[in-house]
A and B are shown apart, each in its own frame.
Chain A
Amino acid sequence: MINQGKILIVEDDLLTQKALEFRLKKDGYTVVKASDGLKAKELLISENPDLLITDLMIPFVSGLELIEFAKNQLKKAIPVIVLSAANQEKIILDSFNLGADDFMSKPFSPLELTVRVKRLLAKNG
């Protein structure tokens, strides 16, 4: 299968992380995983992914801080999808204000997620 791109998943729930990884790999993406914000920052620099999927409530470095890092402090800004159980309006607005490209609340549909991933990657070339 042709490699569709590299995606970094940042999720501290291992089961959700596994489900996401499997789904995305099945669609032909290369997947890199992190369970906390610190590790995610390292991987953003070292692995240079094409897209970031992150939860907001993660250890050490919050998801909002990670969005800001991915958008402003990398050599090349990458698209970000936020996948979070936090559904307060303020948090959603903060995510978009920091530059997130899409927001999905949990529980989520894996099928819907792959459609959004495909759309974002296509948009960013």
Chain B
Amino acid sequence: MDRILCLILFILIGFSVSTVQAQDSLYHVVQKGETLSEISLIYNKRIDRILRDNQLQTELLEIGDSLLIILPAKSTYLLSLKNGKISESKNNNIDTEESIQKSNSVAKKSFEQEDSIQNKDQEINETKVSKTDSSTNKESLYQPNVVESQIDEKSGILDRISSLYKKITISILSYNYGSKLAHYVILTNLVLLFFTLIMLIIGFFSRVFKVFRDKKQKRYSEFFENVLTHFLFSTEDELDDEAGLSLRYFKEERIAKTRRERSWLIKLFIQLHNDLVGESEEHLKSLFLMHRLDKDVERNLKSKRWYVKAKAIHEIGNMELGNFADEVKVNTKNQNKEVVFKSILTLIQLDKKNPLAFLSYLEIPLTEWQQIQLFYALGSLDETKISFDKNWLKSKNDSVVIFAIRFCIRYNRHEFIGLIKKNLENPNPLVQIEVINAIRALGNESNIELLKSKMSTRFSEKKQALIKAISLLQMEPDSLFFQNIIRQSDYNTALIAAKAFYSIPSGIEVLERMKLDENEPEMVRSIVTHALDRRL
């Protein structure tokens, strides 16, 4: 975070400098008697360019009009001070710096006279040269040195900021003071710089606060750990003074006062509860309830923020707070998928008799990862006591059907194989593949004809599952069947069919013959060779 803010700051500074250096333009205020052609001569700029830059349709000008003149880089500037305005014009007659310095002293006097017209609070030290141009009857002026200006500090913060801004811009834009575009750029950059500084300051203080909070958490955690371990393995009589005092405070709720401290304490409870069983586990739970930490969990469960709710549900599951089961069940219909899944996992921990009841009304699809987590959660339960509802195999949610089929495979629920087979007509190929896997795990040889009848499928994954199932179930291997598949299928499917020969008596010899048979296509021989190599 800090590095990103520093990078932004450097980019802004660089941009400010580059934009200032890139600016080479000025505004010419039209004087009495001036024409566009005269102005173009002054700046050595084409008339059509001036018209285009100012989006003008006509060459007619009015006194006081401000014309934007974009000059090429490293132009020689001239400044004049008239009527309190500093404007710039280029003197084409000046070729060398020496002549500029010479005429500077001559023009100085005329500028000092014009200074008197200036605002009495502002002084600008300039060295000017005034020279009358006979051809144009116009004063051409040389580059002055704008050294420094004293800014009037009027009362009020806004006036001070305004004065400071003028001071900054004069010093930066000593040549381009009249350029509005330059002003806008500088102003924008200053604002951005200000906000960047604010963000840096916020970042710094947030970092300091985080370090302080982490130290506090570590200190409190060590204290809570000592108290908890004392409580678990000691009676009050056995404790020394300090530990006994802590325990009494703990029971009277004098420690863990703030919400943050209580959340740290809950975290420790869960950590210990997950590691211990038996008497210690029960003690922990009683202490958890005695300290009324379940009220914190209940409050978080009602939170509108999904991550707070999910954390509370997780804590309910870990501490096995069965009294919250109904509220957790309600959250299985939450809009947030994370909350729904946390609720499902928690219900498995809370409702050990019917942990999969949520499948009856689950609407969201279960991902592969979620299914893995569900099976992991079920692993801690007595599998003989997990009830199964056959309606899950008819669910409209395909992921529920897949999960139910996998459940039957894992827990050897042969009695449902008939219902499972009906799902072969399911339009979802993933469901069909799971059915084939179930037939392979739970079925017998009588299913082989059924499996062979499905071999005309377009889906190669389904075909591969069928081949594996047939090769496993058949008592008398059908060598010709697999040879035809090798010859007619894509590479991966053919390879699986070739591997089926591993379990066929004399299957390896058949593969060897195919490998050496020159009448076989090159692809077939390659597949067979590959299968033989992988077996080795």
Q: Which residues on A are within 8 Å of B, measured CB to CB?
A: 13-16, 18-19, 22-23, 26, 106-112
Contacts and interface: CB of A to CB of B under 8 A. Distances in A.
Contacts of B225: 14-15, 18
B279 A111 contact: yes
Q: Is chain A's interface secondary structure helix, strand, loop, or mixed overall? A: helix
B278 interface: yes
B272 A110 contact: no
Given A107-B276, A107-B277, A110-B233, 10 more contacts: A13-B271, A14-B225, A15-B268, A15-B271, A18-B229, A19-B272, A22-B230, A23-B229, A108-B276, A109-B277
B278 A109 contact: yes
B278 A19 contact: no
Interface in B268-310: 268, 271-272, 274-281
Contact of A19 (B238, B276, B277, B279): B276
Contacts of B279: 109, 111
A16 B232 CA distance: 12
B272 A15 contact: yes
Nearest to A110: B280
A13 B271 CA distance: 10
B44 interface: no
B234 A109 contact: no
Contacts of A13: 271, 275
A19 B272 CA distance: 9
7 contacts: A15-B272, A16-B275, A22-B232, A22-B233, A26-B233, A109-B278, A112-B278
Given A18-B229, A19-B229, A111 B275 contact: no
Nearest to A106: B275
A111 B278 contact: yes
Interface in B217-253: 225-226, 229-230, 232-234, 238
Contacts of A14: 225
Nearest to B267: A15
Contacts of B278: 109-112
Contacts, number: 51
A107 B272 CA distance: 9
A120 to B, nearest CB: 19
A23 B233 contact: yes
B234 A26 contact: yes
Nearest to A25: B233
Contacts of B232: 19, 22, 110
B412 to A, nearest CB: 19
A108 B233 CA distance: 14
A26 B229 CA distance: 11
Contacts of B238: 26
B275 A22 contact: no
A111 B279 CA distance: 8
Which of A18, A19, A23, A26 is most buried by chain B, counting CB atoms within 10 A of its CB?
A19
Given A16-B275, A19-B272, A26-B234, A109 B280 contact: yes
Contacts of B234: 26
Contact of A110 (B226, B230, B271, B276): B276
Given A19-B272, A26-B234, A108 B277 contact: yes
A19 B232 CA distance: 9
Contacts of A22: 229-230, 232-233
Nearest to A11: B275
A110 B230 CA distance: 13
Contacts of A108: 275-277
Contacts of A26: 233-234, 238
A17 to B, nearest CB: 10
A112 to B, nearest CB: 7
A15 B281 CA distance: 14
B194 to A, nearest CB: 46
A16 B228 CA distance: 11
Q: Which 6 A-B pairs have the closest CB atoms?
A: A109-B278, A22-B229, A107-B277, A109-B277, A19-B229, A16-B275
Contacts of B277: 107-109
B271 A107 contact: no
Contact of B280 (A15, A106, A111): A111
Interface string B184-226: 0000000000000000000000000000000000000000011
Nearest to B276: A107
Nearest to B273: A107
Contacts of B274: 107
Contacts of A110: 232-233, 276, 278, 280
Contacts of A23: 229, 233
Which of B233, B234, B274, B279 is most buried by chain A, counting CB atoms within 10 A of its CB?
B233
A24 to B, nearest CB: 10
Nearest to A24: B233
Which of B232, B277, B279 is most buried by chain A, counting CB atoms within 10 A of its CB?
B277
B275 A107 contact: yes
Interface string B368-398: 0000000000000000000000000000000
A85 to B, nearest CB: 8
Contacts of A19: 229, 232-233, 272, 275-276
Nearest to A27: B233
A109 to B, nearest CB: 3
Nearest to B229: A22
A35 to B, nearest CB: 15
A13 B268 CA distance: 12
A53 to B, nearest CB: 14
Contacts of B233: 19, 22-23, 26, 110
A53 B272 CA distance: 18
A110 B224 CA distance: 19
A22 B276 CA distance: 14
A13 B276 CA distance: 13
A117 to B, nearest CB: 14
A23 B272 CA distance: 14
A58 to B, nearest CB: 15
B231 to A, nearest CB: 10
Contacts of A106: 275
